[in-house]
């Protein structure tokens, strides 16, 4: 790997970390700036944000929680040409409602990022659910294992 590739990988990883931090902070202007203006964010069959303005408006729903804690990791990146990258990462997200009840989800972000004049930006995100407790009831796209080989 050359220096530019390592730097790109570092910067893309930081975009994913910054998303989690700004979401916990509910700093939606900063969060939205991590996405392209024409971004699509696909949480599940019934929840999709089209465009960064819509994303910002839609994420206002997170104010219904009193506290959240988003732990990102396991970022894996592949480049598709010089201007486009695909990244898979893991998240563990804990949410607490004003009444004290909690909801925990585990999942992956499947991102397409574009290199822009302002740095790497998420152009498309699909969120998938690898696990959740009983308190978490949002209809996120299910994670799929490969088909089980038949014996």
Interface segment toward a copy of itself; rule CB under 8 A; list 35-43, 45-53, 71-79, 113-121: 71-79
Interface segment toward a copy of itself; rule CB under 8 A; list 37-45, 47-55, 67-75, 112-120: 67-75
Q: In whole angstroms, give the CA distance from residue 83 to residue 115.
A: 5
Contacts of 16 by beta carbon, 8 Å cutoff, 6+ apart: 72, 75, 87, 89, 109, 111
Count CA within 13 A, CB hemisphere, residue 100.
0
Q: Which of 18, 44, 47, 84 binds a copy of itself (CB under 8 A)?
A: 18
| Closest listed residue to residue 140, CA positions, set 126, 128, 130, 131 | 128
Interface segment toward a copy of itself; rule CB under 8 A; list 38-46, 79-87, 105-113, 114-122: 105-113
* Minimum gap (Å) between residue 34 Cβ and a copy of itself: 13
Q: Which of 44, 130, 135, 141 binds a copy of itself (CB under 8 A)?
A: 130
Confirm or reject binding of residue 21 to a copy of itself (CB under 8 A): yes
- E strands, the chain, in order: 35-44, 47-50, 67-79, 84-96, 102-116, 119-132, 141-142
Footprint of a copy of itself (CB under 8 A): 1-3, 6-7, 9-11, 14, 17-18, 20-21, 24-27, 63, 67-76, 88, 90, 92, 94, 96, 102, 106-108, 130-131, 133, 143, 145-146, 148
């Amino acid at each position: 790997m050359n220096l530019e590739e390592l730097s790109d990988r570092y910067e893309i990883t930081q975009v994913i970390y910054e998303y989690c931090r700004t979401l916990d902070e509910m700093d939606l202007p900063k969060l939205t700036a991590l996405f392209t203006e024409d971004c699509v964010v696909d949480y599940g069959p019934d929840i999709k944000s089209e465009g960064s303005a819509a994303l910002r408006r839609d994420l206002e729903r997170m104010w219904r929680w009193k506290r959240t804690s988003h732990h990102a990791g396991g970022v894996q990146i592949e480049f598709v040409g010089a201007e486009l990258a695909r990244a898979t990462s893991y998240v563990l997200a804990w949410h607490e409602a004003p009444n004290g009840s909690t909801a925990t989800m585990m999942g992956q972000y499947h991102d397409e990022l574009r290199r822009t004049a302002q740095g790497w930006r998420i152009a498309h995100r699909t969120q998938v659910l690898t696990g959740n407790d009983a308190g978490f009831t949002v209809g996120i796209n299910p994670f799929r294992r490969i088909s089980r080989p038949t014996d």
